[in-house]
Amino acid sequence: MAIKDSGKVTITLDRTTVEKLRSEKGGMAWDAFMLDLIEWMKQGVRARCVVCRKGVGSVDVDLSPSMLAKRLGWREVSVRGRPDSIGFLCDKCGLEMEKMEEKGEIEGDKKKKNK
């Protein structure tokens, strides 16, 4: 693709790709979303919140996604009876889940530890 000295550039994407990107971007403007996506793809290690889809990354290749998430105060999410995690909860979503656990709306780590 050649970019000339103009204010706009047009790219052509498959319809399914556009639909996936549209669902990921939420209320963000396309320009901001694409710039964030480019920065995200430059990261070597990535973790994404399973609830709000917030993503974090690091270029430190000695870091695992679990270590990155723990460093940021994120919680690992797993299915009962399975050793591997299915993803992470960011600090904001983790607080919401803790509130739901305290109200008894969901069963989480705290109830398991008390049993």
Model confidence over 23-42: pLDDT tens digits? Answer: 878 788 888 888 877 776 66
- Give 10-22 pLDDT, tens digit per residue: 778 888 888 888 8
The pLDDT of residue 99 is above 50:
yes
Instruction: Measure the CA angle with vertex 62, ends 56 and 68; round to 5°.
Output: 30
pLDDT value, residue 58: 77
Tell me the mean pLDDT in the region 97-110.
78
81 Cβ partners below 8 Å, 6+ apart? none
pLDDT value, residue 115: 47
Return the bridge partners of 42, or none. Answer: none
pLDDT value, residue 20: 85
The pLDDT of residue 1 is above 60:
no
Task: Flag whether the pTM goes above 0.75.
Answer: no
- Give 48-76 pLDDT, tens digit per residue: 888 888 878 777 767 788 888 888 888 88
User: Which residue ranges make up each domain of the chain?
Assistant: 43-114
Distance in angstroms (rounded) separating the CA atoms of residues 63 and 40: 16
Tell me the mean pLDDT in the region 102-107.
82
Burial grade of 90 (CB within 10 A; 0-12, 13-18, 19 or more): buried
